Chains A and B, each alone.
Chain A
Amino acid sequence: MPFEQAFKLSSLLLATTAFSGLVLAHSIPAWLATITGVILTITLLQTWGFTFPWSISRQSAVSSNLRNLLLIAAFALFLIDLAVISRELLPAGIHFLVVLLAIKLTALHQRRDFRHLYALSLMAILAAAALTTEAWYIPIFLLYLLAAVWTLLLYHLTSDDAPQLGETPSHNRRDQSGHSVGITNRFFWLTNGMAVVTFGLTLAIFFLLPRIGAGMLQKSRGEGLRTTGFSERVDLGMIGSVKQDPQVVMRVELPERSAEGTERLYLRGVAYDRYNGRSWSASSARRRNLGSFGDGAFLVRAGGGRVPQGPSAAIQQDILLEALDTSVLFAAPFAEYLSGDFPGVQADGMAALYLTFPTASRVRYSVTSRLYEITAGERSASTLDYSHSVLERYLALPELSDKVAALSQHVVRDSATPFARITAIHQHLLRNYQYSLDVETTTSLHPLEDFLLDRKTGYCEHYATAMVVMLRAVGIPARLVTGFLATEWNEFGGYFTVRQRDAHAWVEVYFPQSGWITFDPTPATGLLPSRSSWDVLFRAGESLRLYWDRFFIRYSTRDQLAVIYGIRDGGDAIRDRFSQWVSAVHRTMTQTVAALQQSAHTATAGVMVAAVISAGLGFLALAVLMWKHVWLKGSPLRLAQRQQLRITRLYRHMLQATARNGLVKSPAVTPTEFARLVAKKWTAAEMAVAEVTELYCRGRFSGTALTAGELVRAEHQIRALQQLSRTARLEG
């Protein structure tokens, strides 16, 4: 393929990847995406060599005047967009960007146009990065990088014969189709290799450079995923509306447990104790703040204060919770310790955990829970001794038809012990009712009676409500719990994927000694989703997304430390020492960054503005300095000036050395006079000072450059002088 065509193609590919990044970030309206996509495709096909019946000439006939008009119109639209439609700079800017891209694509004539195209593409890919935290960004970014390397190379190669490019393209194309100037195999692989190396470097920089969370470009606080069942009041049948939704709510890693033996995991959200016949609510909204023992770790004690006595098993979970519209924190029952980067955590009277504010972004936390079983004594006890307050609170029933009470009594008629009664009701619900999501709930005035007596079809909420009501009807304290039932184990990532459709409701039954014990009356058919062979692929993709999130989006300074420690652990002595050094440096850097962040949080707006302005000025000064420095490198005269600075610096070092020995040069004393003074007062240094002074005078005032050897000599003498001054001081 000739260079020129390859150059155009790679430029267009660059634009295409950037554009598709924006499209995938859902940041462009469909109509705009379509129009730009069509223009992009046509341009691509034309460059590839495809001729359209209405030919290229028509397209190039879009006059520059018309394009200017279009640009002005686009800008006006941008202003309107900014003011009225999007009302935010980033989306409006992206729309404008895409319009500019589309206009630019119709006019790729000069190299200037291509440069504009690159700038637009870069902005587009940056905007896409700012807008998304999804894993699809990886392939887009890789493609972009590849295209960018190609484009830069080809741009450089074709720019050498730029005049020909403009003159006679057709003739040129014929010439260049010869094998010597086209793209050879070697060139192809070399370029791709460079792209890979670039990517590797990028990764290294990404993982090793310390980062500061700058939220400038991030989208303004987005809305959390809408959830149901965790508010103060839950209507019966609410959960059914989300039972088809595959949106991921959280991912739960079990660091100490393997997939075997863990088929399902209950993630407890909120418990409810009051039922009014249609909806569940909590009788007390009081919450207490959890005691923290430093570094984001919180101690959670089970509500009621009494420690259950049954056999128990600890289970640790690392949970990555998506942004939700609720502040509930989910955990396996019952949480004992919780650690996460939170300012505070609250718990209500029924052991539900809340953040003090709703989550605006994903949160990651670890929970250690203890799963209690019923004690053997209570399992066989014929009566249980409930306290008065428990009975009052957990036996309350709404006004129900007698049929429900009768049914309850009927079910437990043969059971002698409370545990047997519970089992009987549990089994009754499991066996005699049909699981189905096709239930109309809103029409009925008494959804529970409908479920229990008439329809006998329902889902988790109906089952759980029915069990609680029936237990209460036979005098056993119980409550309803909503949360998620994790069943989707991802064998690639080693975690449970929890989706909206895993929302669940179940029952907790109270035992005076064993505490609250979980019972789930919903039949297993409704819990385990059907699995097809395609799911394996989905799960693999899912785990990739978690890795992406874990190692790229949420990659933090702490993780960098982990990387550094990992290097340290694996290495021999040299690597060991190196990484210790790195981690020491890193710790200071992290502390500095943390301190900066802290001060940035606490600083007032005025201070921030001042800091930003002074930083800007600093950069400007730096730029000027750099520019001057580069400029100085030019002619031999500049060389002399540079050396002048250097010998002056050396002379100052000499003055410092003599000053340490009590010989200070007053400003009005000339260098030669000072050298004479030194010769008189400090004879040992006479030689060195005389030589440096001589070189300094010549280098500083003669306007001609010293030779490198002379500079080295001056440095040497100064070192000798410093040595001399040290020994003199020691002796003195």
Chain B
Amino acid sequence: MNSTQTIRAIQGNIGRVIKGKALTIEMAVVCLLARGHLLLEDVPGVGKTTLAHSLARSLACSFKRIQFTSDLLPSDIVGVSIFNRQKQGFEFMPGPIFANIVLADEINRTTPKTQSSLLEAMSEAQVSVDNQTHPLQQPFMVIATQNPAEYHGTFPLPESQLDRFLMRLRLGYPSPEEERKVLERPQALHPAEALDAVLSVEEVLALQRRVDEIHMDESLTDYLLAIVQATRQSELLSLGVSTRGALALSKTAKALACARGRDYCLPDDIKELSPIVLSHRVMLNRAHGMRAHSFEQAERIILDIVDMVPVPV
């Protein structure tokens, strides 16, 4: 089975559960291939958790879910050291973060302190408890979901932390036909529970390694940088895309090329990924009457910017 077939298999597998969201599923897989973390942002009840759950089920790897609440503590995520009477010493009890795929549900419901403990684990791929460093399993992917900021009782993630997520996806409501299919499905079992794994951990790691070998032409790197530069110069944005953002775009473009069965990037890859990879890394300029955290507006501005940057010929 080659990489394209593998990736198609995962997509097909998830597609059996999430109806009519092929593109979003593809992007979630791309995020996995690019060794990144995914932020799903949408209103409750459109399948955010189901997507994360099905992705984890499609891979033969461990999956943990953390429901974030306002009273969640960092130790609830990372784990705690407990005194073992028999061994006469402290013993580290790993928290739910020690899994291949971690679903951080409603990440903006918890306090910044707890949020940051998760984000630290995300960027370092390791946790430190009581002066001891524990490496996390590989592959390691955090899929965080959050409700849009305007809903009550949330602690919005600061930009610096949002930056840690490779891409931000939106699911949106399914079309009536798709929704009908969802309703007609037998409801006894959670649909994701019925999925079989189609990929082993080793295969995932191999795919991730493969992404690194994807060729990106110099002209495309220039194109990518031109887009990033344009976000920094746009009047509509008060904060442009960081270098980490540029790196993320490059990584995801390669992963997308791989997912689409190419061993080289195209300008299309970059153009298509720009809104979902860059939109959560920018801050809108309030002077132009925009709210700072409007997902749609940010996406639209990025799209407009990309439509201004000439594609290399």
Contacts and interface: CB of A to CB of B under 8 A. Distances in A.
B202 interface: no
B215 A670 contact: no
Contact of A701 (B217, B271, B306): B217
B268 interface: yes
Interface in B282-313: 306-311, 313
Nearest to B263: A702
B265 interface: yes
A43 to B, nearest CB: 59
Nearest to A696: B313
B263 A672 contact: no
Contact of B217 (A651, A667, A703): A703
Nearest to B271: A670
A672 B266 contact: yes
Contact of B306 (A652, A668, A702): A668
B220 interface: yes
Nearest to A676: B268
B215 A648 contact: no
Given A701-B220, A703-B217, A671 B264 contact: no
Contact of A672 (B215, B264, B268): B268
A654 to B, nearest CB: 11
Interface string A696-719: 011011111000000000000000
A141 to B, nearest CB: 54
B267 interface: yes
Interface string B264-284: 111110010000000000000
Interface in A651-703: 651-652, 667-673, 697-698, 700-703
Nearest to A667: B310
Nearest to A703: B215
B144 to A, nearest CB: 31
A652 B266 contact: no
For the residues of B in contact with A, the DSSP-based class is: loop
Contacts of A698: 264
Contact of B313 (A652, A673, A702, A704): A652
A672 B260 CA distance: 14
Contacts of B264: 698, 701-704
B32 to A, nearest CB: 24
A701 B313 contact: no
B313 A651 contact: yes
B308 A668 contact: yes
Contacts of B219: 700-701
A702 B311 contact: no
Interface in B248-263: 262-263
A671 B215 contact: no
B266 A701 contact: yes
A673 B215 CA distance: 21
B295 to A, nearest CB: 23
A70 B166 CA distance: 77
A700 B264 CA distance: 10
Interface string A637-657: 000000000001001100000
Contacts of B306: 668
Contacts of B268: 670-673
Contact of B267 (A652, A671, A702): A671
Interface centre among A648, A670, A672, A698 (most CB of B within 10 A): A670
A670 B309 CA distance: 10
B266 A697 contact: yes
Contact of B311 (A648, A652, A667, A703): A667
Interface centre among B262, B266, B308 (most CB of A within 10 A): B266
A668 B263 contact: no
Interface range, B side: 20 to 34
Contacts of A673: 268, 271
A315 to B, nearest CB: 74
Interface string B49-78: 000000000000000000000000000000
B225 to A, nearest CB: 15
Contacts of A671: 266-268, 311, 313
A176 B306 CA distance: 75
A669 B223 CA distance: 12
A668 B215 contact: no
A664 to B, nearest CB: 13
B193 to A, nearest CB: 38
Nearest to A644: B217
Contacts of B220: 701
Contacts of A670: 266-268, 271, 311
A704 B262 CA distance: 12
Nearest to B218: A703
A669 B312 CA distance: 10
A697 B262 CA distance: 11
A231 to B, nearest CB: 76
Interface in B184-233: 215-217, 219-220
Given A697-B266, A703-B215, A703-B264, A668 B313 contact: no
A353 B267 CA distance: 81
Nearest to A655: B313
Nearest to B220: A701
Contacts of B216: 701
Contacts of A701: 215-217, 219-220, 264-267
A587 B220 CA distance: 50
Interface string B162-174: 0000000000000
A648 B215 CA distance: 18
A698 B313 CA distance: 12
Nearest to A672: B268
B59 to A, nearest CB: 29
A604 B265 CA distance: 56
Nearest to A701: B217
A60 B310 CA distance: 70
A404 to B, nearest CB: 101
Contacts of A697: 266
A651 B268 CA distance: 16
A669 B311 CA distance: 6
B142 to A, nearest CB: 31
A668 B309 contact: yes
Contacts of B263: 702
B233 to A, nearest CB: 16
B19 to A, nearest CB: 25
Contacts of A672: 266, 268
Contacts of A700: 217, 219
A698 B262 CA distance: 9
Given A702-B215, A703-B215, A668 B311 contact: yes
Contacts of B309: 668
A648 B311 CA distance: 13
A672 B265 CA distance: 12
A698 B261 CA distance: 12
B302 to A, nearest CB: 13
Contacts of B217: 700-703
Nearest to A697: B266
Contact of B307 (A668, A703, A704): A668
Nearest to A669: B311
Interface in A30-61: none
A698 B268 CA distance: 13
Contacts of A703: 215, 217, 264
B313 A648 contact: yes
A651 B264 CA distance: 18
Interface centre among B216, B220, B264, B265 (most CB of A within 10 A): B264
Nearest to B262: A702
16 contacts: A651-B313, A667-B311, A669-B311, A670-B271, A671-B267, A671-B268, A672-B266, A673-B271, A697-B266, A701-B215, A701-B216, A701-B220, A701-B266, A702-B217, A702-B262, A704-B215
A-B pairs, 9 with minimum CB distance: A667-B310, A702-B264, A670-B267, A701-B217, A703-B215, A670-B268, A672-B268, A670-B311, A668-B307
Given A701-B216, A701-B217, 18 more contacts: A667-B311, A668-B306, A668-B309, A668-B311, A669-B311, A670-B267, A670-B271, A670-B311, A671-B267, A671-B313, A672-B266, A673-B271, A697-B266, A698-B264, A701-B215, A701-B220, A702-B215, A702-B262
